[in-house]
Amino acid sequence: SKLIRSQNTIALFLADAGQGQLALSRIVDRGQGYYNWVNHDAARGEALSQLSQWTEVRDCICQTPKLTPVMKMLGVSPNPRALDLLAILNAESHAYTGSDCALDFLQKAHERLDSRYLPGHPYVARLGLVAAHLCSVNARWGEALSVMSKVLSDEDIYLEQIGRGLPEVSLLTLARRMESHLERYLGYVLRASPNQQTVRDAFEAHVRRKGLVFQQAAAISRRTSEPTELREIRQELSLRALGSDLINADSRAQFERLLAKRDELEATLAKTGEYPSEALEQAINLQAIQQQLPPQTTLLDFAEATTGIGPADEHRVVVFVIHGPDSDIAVVDLCSRSRMDEIVSDYRRELESD
């Protein structure tokens, strides 16, 4: 039983880190006892979700018994992270398989997670995607767009707060998820018959997200020369932000004090020239980009968009068309990603034949 618990705990860690295929290869039998069942079902469900096998996810986690008051009295204490994942997977699997119970499971997941994690945390963001999907199912594209806009805004703030304290692998995983969320947002923009303000907001979200990820990656590269105190503060911020109970007033106050101390140390280093300020930290927005464009010049910025929920769903290639200051901008749906790949391949073959 202890061996099974250890193996499934490792599988849960791998699945939570985005290594679904590897997690599936490490999962063993469910074993005996509530702790083992929760770990097994959360690990398997999370791994299957990364393969978009939502019916299998729902079947897997539906077998997990509920934690009753009697079990709590007997000292049953399962992994809270596994319980968090089960709540998320219940909401996702019922929503993405068209279940009538999806809204109920989404509400229950919010009741568990909203008091444990900051807005923008990857777990909370996943619930936002579920809410947006439920709007899109009924063609309520404006509502779906509004929900996704809030998800992106919360994620950006979250990344700004804790990005420089994350381990490299965690930052890269978070960046990939944020990129897929941006694609979902742009997909809703295309379906919502956007006005000019919506297109401008979409472009700024696109540029801001790319800049934030690049900024955090650049910050990582200079970490090795930082003072010990600053590195320790970053680590503590990471642990607190990725953990739970930050909605609690005392925990939140301590988190804010650490943020203030980090900013103070960074400012001191910048003044002494040991930690030079970066141009990347300046805001990049549509107005700034348009001001930099030479006369009679047009900027084309490409992105991908999707309204699907899995890797097999169609991705579209879109392009933002930006002219000079005070001009309207446009977003154009070019074609599917697979069609674009074919066009590029054909063009390369023609160049090689010449």
334-343: pLDDT as tens digits: 999 889 999 9
31 in Cβ contact with 5 (< 8 Å): yes
Length in residues, the chain: 354
**Measured between alpha carbons, how far is residue 310 from residues 16, 53, 238, 325, 333 in Å?**
17, 9, 29, 38, 20
Share of the chain above pLDDT 90, in %: 31
Instruction: Choose the most confident range, by mean pLDDT, from 164-173, 253-262, 305-314, 340-349.
Output: 340-349
Q: What is the mean pLDDT of the chain?
A: 81
First to last CA, the chain: 66
Range in 138-152, 227-241, 300-314 the model is least confident about: 227-241
Quick check: 305 pLDDT over 50? yes
Give SS3 for 145. Answer: helix
Confidence tier at 56 by pLDDT (50, 70, 90): very high
Which distant-in-sequence residues (6+ apart) come within 8 Å of 8 by Cβ?
A: 27, 28, 31, 36, 39, 40, 43
For residues 106 and 38, give the distance between their C-alpha atoms in angstroms, rounded to a whole number: 19
Quick check: 277 pLDDT over 60? no
Q: What does the DSSP 8-state code read for residue 264?
A: H
pTM of the model: 0.76
Q: Measured at the alpha carbon of residue 124, what is the angle toward residues 241 and 223, in degrees to the nearest 5?
A: 30
Range in 99-108, 293-302, 309-318 the model is least confident about: 309-318
The DSSP result for 61-117, as a single string, is HTTSPP--HHHHHTT----HHHHHHHHHHHHHHHHHTT-TTHHHHHHHHHHHHTTTS
Encode burial over 280-317: b for 16+ CB neighbours within 10 A, e otherwise.
eeeebebeebbeeeeeeeeeebebbbbbebeeeeebbb
